[in-house]
Amino acid sequence: MPTVLALETSCDESAAAVVRGTTVLADAVASQVAEHARWGGVVPEIASRRHVEALPGLIEQVMAVSGVAMDELDGIAATVAPGLAGALLVASVTGRTLARLHGKPFVGIHHLEGHLCSAQLDATPPAPPYLVLLVSGGHTELVRVDGPGGYTRLGRSHDDAAGEAFDKVARLLGLGYPGGPALAAAAVGGDPQRFDLPKGRVSKPGGGFYPYDFSFSGLKTAMLRQVKALEREAAPLPVADLAASFEHVVAEVLVERSCRCAREQNLGTLVLVGGVAANLRLRALLEQACQQHGLQWRLAPLAYCTDNAAMIGVAACQWLSRQASSVCQLGVAARWPLEEAAALQRDPAPF
């Protein structure tokens, strides 16, 4: 099994890990949430600066904890796309520099491929083919996984990702940042059926709807109108009921379309990954629906749902096991399709 040092700085979490196959020997994350909370969201320039400050110490920490020396590594990996370009550069330049200094292969990893690989860190990882519901701050995707590098997107959000919708509705309700945990906490004890909220669908140009796609813009607008209507009544906002109703309808939409996709595509296993996968209501509804429809279900371990370097390391080990790595001229890209993740391991580099 290859052993890699993996780095992740695609957004506001600085992370490093040493991974051997699917075994995490050491990992560390430095979160910037408290600093960005002052602004209600991630400030790219601040994020990049904090990555520069944090990453060297994190690398030193995981190398010491793992007991692995640099000359014992089989490669060095970093997230190179998608994400905040300035933030991505920190891990990418660091990883490529270390690879050159120590004569190791460099492996550039697609951030979403990392999330898909987080499922392999479970005690009973899924066997392909299977369907992944990936829900995070910036992405809501349904992806068929046929094995390492074999990814087919079957559904996606056409506007905000689920995590972005949580952030914006949490701000509307005067809750904290990040919105997902803040809204989930506010929803405790609330009535999820009090407010009738829409389950947005995406129209096809020729008529009908995309069966597996998502849209949360209409839901956000409905929440805004509901809050404005309640404010006109000059009574205290029922924040717990509003939060519970919003959280419930988002979870229902994600679970209903995911289960439909799995059944219609003859995929017997549904896997939940990404930061929003930590939401307890979503987990409970998914478990219930999978049992009802005879589907197996798997969850990425909670520790590896949010952005981390361990999942990047697993993805890198899969590529190295197939004798594949990136050229050190590989740059970074704010956007890059998951279906083209394999292009990151080719010469010439795609960007």
**Would you identify the CATH topology of the domain 127-299?**
Nucleotidyltransferase; domain 5 (3.30.420)
pLDDT at 323: 97
pLDDT at 156: 96
pLDDT at 185: 96
Residue intervals of the chain classified under CATH 3.30.420.40 are 3-116+306-345, 127-299
For the chain, the straight-line distance linking the first and the last C-alpha, in angstroms and rounded, comes to 29
Q: What is the pLDDT along the chain (351 residues), one digit of tens a residue?
A: 999 999 999 999 999 999 999 999 999 999 998 888 888 889 999 999 999 999 999 999 999 999 999 999 999 999 999 999 999 999 999 999 999 999 999 999 999 999 999 999 999 999 999 999 999 888 999 999 999 999 999 999 999 889 899 999 999 999 988 899 999 999 999 999 999 999 999 999 989 999 999 999 999 999 999 999 999 998 899 999 999 999 999 999 999 999 999 999 999 999 999 989 989 999 999 999 999 999 999 999 999 999 999 999 999 999 999 999 999 999 999 999 999 999 999 999 999
pLDDT at 38: 86
pLDDT at 96: 98
Exposed/middle/buried for 187, CB within 10 Å: 0-12, 13-18, 19+?
A: buried
pLDDT at 34: 85
Domain 3-116+306-345 belongs to what architecture? 2-Layer Sandwich (3.30)
Output phi, psi for 23, to 5 deg: -105, 125
Nearest to 63 by CA among 77, 74, 53, 73: 73
> Quick count: other Cβ atoms within 10 Å of Cβ 253?
21
pTM of the model: 0.94
pLDDT at 33: 85
